[in-house]
Amino acid sequence: PNSALDGFVPWPEEFADRYRRAGYWRGEVLGSLLRAPARRDGARTALVEGERRWTYAELDAAADRRAAGLAELGLARGDRVLVQLPNSAEFIVLCFALFRLGAVPVFALPGHRRSEIAYLCELSEAVCYVVPDVYEGFDHRELAREVAAGYAGLKHVLVFGDPAEFRALERIEAEPRAWPDPDPAEPALLLLSGGTTGLPKLIARTHDDYMYNIRASVEVTGLDQGTTYLVVLPVAHNFALGCPGWLGALSVVGTVVLAADPSPARVFPLIARERVDTVALVPPLALLWADAAGAAGADLSSLRLIQVGGAKLAEPAAYRVAGVFGCVLQQVFGMAEGLLNFTALSDPAELVAGCQGRPLSPADEVLVLDPQGRPVPDGEVGELLTRGPYTLRGYYRAPEHNLRAFTEDGFYRTGDLVRRRPDATLVVEGRIKDQINRGGEKIAAAEVEGHLAAHPAVREAALVAVPDPVLGERAWAFLTLRGPAPRLPEIRRFLAERGLAGYKAPDRLEVVESWPVTGVGKIDKRELAALALERSAARR
């Protein structure tokens, strides 16, 4: 059955009841988040994009018109819509339109290509795909043609910009109507997981759980009407979306400023012009900004709170960022699957610099386990497992994988290695999941290895995380060969031709004669990482 509920793993009734009784789940839906602000504060500025500004009343009305237009096209409650747009007001209008219709956006990143997009369409049975015309030199209409040719379920392609043979997103409008609210316990959006397997996974977030995620995040960041929140990370990533993100800023009648380009040269003048006070960054970007802040002489005095997350912010880097900007630094250790950890605004500098925060909700249950599944004492490293009122109980339409990714009693195995301290703060110490975290961008090793192994000269491939001073980690591909050794540019071209997102391509190739193996005969990636360090040291 083609339904948003098919393949969604709900919380057990007992837990759902508990979360409702405790007031975490309030039956609120995402499409209503703008209603009260639009009624009470309609003239306030909701959005700024370049020279354009939207008041709350304008944004609310635009969302209603877009929802009506989408309904006229035939989109209905429960339909999945694959959304791949850059940071833009159109993205935000579309989100509210879909939420109001009860249609379910599936969020792709602008860098995704045929491999990811075709798979996400098929997995989610999307009926509609929304793209920019050309973004960063890439024609998404061409991608849409390829995807539509291979997937018959796609009824509509909507294009932001020049639509070619498709429909223009901006023209999808009709006289506003009212729709019954969707069921708050049902999926409101589908987020992409960082991934650890050969195929990307989707995370269904419900209205109830995501509204709580936003509300609790707003509280721990102290956002209010005075807030001007800058979006520089991808607008569809969980961090910038709802932690508290632009949804959180709008929920408290703040102002959201959208930046398409995170470079200091473009963003600093925008911060000064709009008096931005809050922003979410990944560590490499925070450090890039810190380096540029001294030199540029731009007025960054409006900044009140810088959130850093997505990858570990090393202790010296934390001190540097806090020192340069002279505002509050907040570490955020989050995941699209749910659990969020934040340091508090009132935490002393040493605490903020030395940990990744504490769980957001009193109802977050956290376990730190040894490889045998036994709890480790506080202060010792183990795998983090969690369940709670905004953490998924299963990936969407992935029953096999769920058997491994969750315990029988519903705890999500994060794959992250942490140390829990007596004060309940967590320190991220590494991971056991087979993933590369390249400056906050997640790369599933198995996915890339599968593509590499399809190259005619490659016998077997292993993608390994290698420490990097700027990005935290880079991806090295180790290969055994059955033909002449390929060079990196050729491999990158090969992966691009297979439709893989560019950010997943390895930074470096290394050929080995044979694999180091573990006791159980698997490729020993730790050994390969050590070899990588040796080889890079030798070249220096």
Query: Any idea which residue has 């990307």 for tokens?
Result: 200
Pairing of strands 128-132, 134-135: unpaired
Half-sphere exposure (CA, 13 Å, Cβ side) for 38?
17
* Minimum gap (Å) between residue 512 Cβ and ligand J2J: 27
What does the per-residue mask of binding to ligand J2J show for 136-175, with x meaning CB under 6 A?
Answer: ----------------------------------------
| 442 scored as a contact of ligand J2J (CB under 6 A) | yes
* Minimum gap (Å) between residue 234 Cβ and ligand J2J: 10
- Are the beta carbons of 67 and 101 closer than 8 angstroms? yes
**Tokens matching residue 417:** 């290695």
Q: Using the minimum distance from each CB to ligand J2J, give the nearer residue, 276 or 428.
A: 428
| 443 scored as a contact of ligand J2J (CB under 6 A) | no
Q: Which residues pair with 385 in a beta bridge?
A: 367, 413
Between CA 281 and CA 330 the distance in angstroms is 10
| 310 scored as a contact of ligand J2J (CB under 6 A) | yes
| 95 scored as a contact of ligand J2J (CB under 6 A) | no
Of the ranges 53-61, 149-157, 329-337, 528-536, which one interacts with ligand J2J (CB under 6 A)? 329-337
What does the per-residue mask of binding to ligand J2J show for 384-423, with x meaning CB under 6 A?
Answer: ------------------------------x-x-------
Buried b (16+ CB within 10 A) or exposed e, 244-281: bbbbbbbbbbbbbbbbbebebeebbebbeebebbbbbb
Among 80, 207, 431, 504, binds ligand J2J (CB under 6 A): 431
| 235 scored as a contact of ligand J2J (CB under 6 A) | no
Among 110, 132, 194, 262, binds ligand J2J (CB under 6 A): 194
Q: Which of 125, 101, 135 is nearest to 202 (CA)?
A: 125
Kindly give, in sequence order, each residue whose CB lies less than 8 Å from that of residue 174, ignoring residues fewer than 6 positions away.
65, 68, 69, 71, 72
| 311 scored as a contact of ligand J2J (CB under 6 A) | yes
* Minimum gap (Å) between residue 205 Cβ and ligand J2J: 11
Q: Using the minimum distance from each CB to ligand J2J, give the nearer residue, 207 or 442.
A: 442
- Are the beta carbons of 516 and 529 closer than 8 angstroms? no
Between CA 379 and CA 377 the distance in angstroms is 6
Q: Using the minimum distance from each CB to ligand J2J, give the nearer residue, 38 or 318.
A: 318
Chain position whose Cβ is nearest to ligand J2J: 334
Instruction: Compute the C-alpha angle 214/78/162, nearest 5°.
Output: 85
Among 309, 389, 486, 506, binds ligand J2J (CB under 6 A): 309
| 239 scored as a contact of ligand J2J (CB under 6 A) | yes
Q: Which residues pair with 107 in a beta bridge?
A: 83
Query: Any idea which residue has 């956006």 for tokens?
Result: 105
Q: Which residues pair with 501 in a beta bridge?
A: none
Helices (H), 385-505: 399-405, 445-452, 488-497
| 428 scored as a contact of ligand J2J (CB under 6 A) | yes
Among 250, 336, 444, 531, binds ligand J2J (CB under 6 A): 336
Q: From edge to edge, which strands make up the β-sheet containing 52-55?
A: 52-55, 45-49, 255-258, 228-231, 278-281, 305-309, 328-335, 338-342, 358-359
| 126 scored as a contact of ligand J2J (CB under 6 A) | no
For ligand J2J, how many residues bind (rule: CB under 6 A)? 22
Q: Using the minimum distance from each CB to ligand J2J, give the nearer residue, 221 or 238.
A: 238
| 334 scored as a contact of ligand J2J (CB under 6 A) | yes
Binding-site ranges for ligand J2J (CB under 6 A) = 194, 238-239, 243, 309-312, 331-336, 340, 356, 414, 416, 428, 431, 437, 442
